[in-house]
Amino acid sequence: MRNINEHTITAAVLDRLSDCGDPRLKEILSSLVRHLHDFAREVKLTEAEWMAGIDYLTATGQKCDGKRQEFILLSDTLGLSTLVVAQNHAKSAQATEATVFGPFHVPGAPRLPLGGDMSGGAVGEPLFVDATVRGRDGEPVADAEVDVWEADAEGFYDVQRAGLDAPQGRAVFRTDAQGRLWFRGVLPVAYPIPTDGPVGTMLNATGRHPWRPAHVHFMIRAPGYQTLITHVFRDGDPYLDSDAVFGVRSSLIGDYERHEAGPAPDGSAQAGPFHALSFGFVLEPAG
3-state secondary structure string across 206-263: CCCCCEECCEEEEEEECCCECCEEEEEEECCCCCCCCCCCCCCCHHHEECEEEECCEE
pLDDT digits (tens, 9 = 90+) for 90-117: 788 899 999 999 989 989 999 999 999 9
Q: Is residue 279 part of a domain?
A: yes
Q: Is residue 64 part of a domain?
A: no
| Predicted local confidence at residue 267, as pLDDT | 92
Q: Pick from 251, 281, 277: which is nearest to 128 by CA? A: 277
* 38 touches 13 (CB < 8 A): no
| Predicted local confidence at residue 165, as pLDDT | 87
Q: Is residue 242 part of a domain?
A: yes
| Predicted local confidence at residue 162, as pLDDT | 87
pTM of the model: 0.91
Q: Pick from 152, 161, 163, 148: which is nearest to 121 by CA? A: 152
Q: What is the mean pLDDT of the chain?
A: 96
pLDDT digits (tens, 9 = 90+) for 10-39: 999 999 999 999 999 999 999 999 999 999
Same domain, 106 and 35: no
- Percent of the chain exceeding pLDDT 70 equals 100
Q: Is residue 221 part of a domain?
A: yes
pLDDT digits (tens, 9 = 90+) for 39-92: 999 999 999 999 999 999 999 999 998 888 999 999 999 999 999 999 988 788
In total, the chain counts a number of residues equal to: 287
The CATH number covering residue 178 comes to 2.60.130.10
Q: Is residue 174 part of a domain?
A: yes
What's the total number of domains in the chain? 2
pLDDT digits (tens, 9 = 90+) for 217-226: 999 999 999 9
- The distance from CA 187 to its chain's CA centroid, rounded to whole angstroms, is 18
pLDDT digits (tens, 9 = 90+) for 150-205: 999 999 999 999 888 899 999 999 999 999 999 999 999 999 999 999 999 999 99
Segments forming the whole domain that contains residue 35:
9-45
> Over the range 117-128, which residues count as b (16 or more CB within 10 Å of their CB) and which as e?
bbbbebebbbbb
Same domain, 257 and 172: yes
Same domain, 39 and 75: no
